[in-house]
Amino acid sequence: MPVGHTQPYRTLTRERNLILGLLLILAVVAWGVLIQQQSTMPDAQAMSPTMGMGALLFVAIWVVMMVAMMFPTAAPMILIFARVHADRQQQGKPFVPTWVFVGAYLLTWAVFGVLAYIAALGAEKLAGQSMWLMNNAALLGGVVLIAAGLYQLSPLKHVCLSKCRSPMQFVLHHWRSGYGGAFRMGLEHGVYCLGCCWLMFVILFPLGIMNLVAMALVTALIFAEKSLSLGRQISWIAAGVLIIYGALVIFLPEALPGMPSSGVPSSGAPSMDM
């Protein structure tokens, strides 16, 4: 490499390492918050769809979950965005800080968190009014797991996954200039990421919204789908596992975490009335 190009290259490498390190630190801190939250939360509350929380606290915890689970998987896309704008800065062209893209990405997941809270609150109210829902909680959980497995095989899943697996292609095909353009790119990537993974987060409701083992498995699956060369095949394997597990839960309710052998949530669960 010519001597004149050594300093810009080193600068770009330092910026890349700094951004990657910051993403990983934020993810580790977020995991620490989740572990602390789970350790102080009663089991019945942890299995409740809203975790007994109001909207603001639920969405805040949801965003922390997204930082913990999605920052490691979104890192390649964020680093490509940062590299392109760092190159523009080196060339004296207008550039945008990476936080604009990341902020828009998180906003997409925060909006999904609001919708998740509304759905969870509705489910709790319905369960409090319907013994059928209470008595068939495992059946409904199994159906959700099977639906997540089938979605893994859907064309929409793989269109969205292809966008997430090709960061440079995404940046080239969705390029927008300026702060507004970077914000829109972050939103668009968030939407594709949501389209790829949303049911992976829906299954946390029957598995336990604060089930750390389930969160870790989902994180590992999403990372493998997006980053490994066998990502698509891993997605298909996950589909089979989810479908089989969902069917098992339907016929063997106690296979669902927190579900007693009767298939009905224990009386120690929190009241569904808000």
Q: What is the DSSP string of 68-121?
A: HHHHHHHHHHHHHHHHHHHHHHHTT-----HHHHHHHHHHHHHHHHHHHHHHHH
Do the domain assignments include residue 272?
Answer: no
Reported confidence tier of residue 5, pLDDT bands at 50, 70, 90: low
Do the domain assignments include residue 262?
Answer: no
User: Span 191-220, mean pLDDT?
Assistant: 92
- Report the distance separating Cα 206 and Cα 22, nearest Å: 32
Do the domain assignments include residue 11?
Answer: yes
Do the domain assignments include residue 260?
Answer: no
Do the domain assignments include residue 273?
Answer: no
pLDDT in tens, 42-69: 877 767 788 888 899 999 999 999 999 9
Do the domain assignments include residue 223?
Answer: yes
Do the domain assignments include residue 268?
Answer: no
Residues spanned by the domain of 74: 3-255
Q: What is the pLDDT of residue 243?
A: 97
Q: What is the pLDDT of residue 273?
A: 36
Reported confidence tier of residue 264, pLDDT bands at 50, 70, 90: low
Q: In the chain, at which residue ranges do the beta strands (DSSP E only) sit?
A: none
- The percent of the chain in helix, strand and coil, each rounded to the nearest 5, is 80, 0, 20
Per DSSP, 154 falls in state S
Q: What is the pLDDT of residue 127?
A: 80
pLDDT in tens, 72-103: 889 999 999 888 888 877 777 777 888 999 99
**Domain count for the chain:** 1
Average pLDDT over the chain reads 85
Do the domain assignments include residue 96?
Answer: yes
35-39 long-range contacts (CB < 8 A, ≥24 apart) are 35/212, 37/61, 37/210, 38/210, 38/212
pLDDT in tens, 98-116: 899 999 999 999 999 999 9
pTM of the complete model beyond 0.85:
no
User: Span 248-268, mean pLDDT?
Assistant: 72
pLDDT in tens, 147-192: 999 999 999 999 999 998 888 899 888 888 889 999 999 999 999 9
pLDDT in tens, 137-150: 889 999 999 999 99
Residue with tokens 């993974």: 197
Residue with tokens 């998740």: 116
Nearest CA-CA partner of 65 in 215, 207, 186, 226: 215
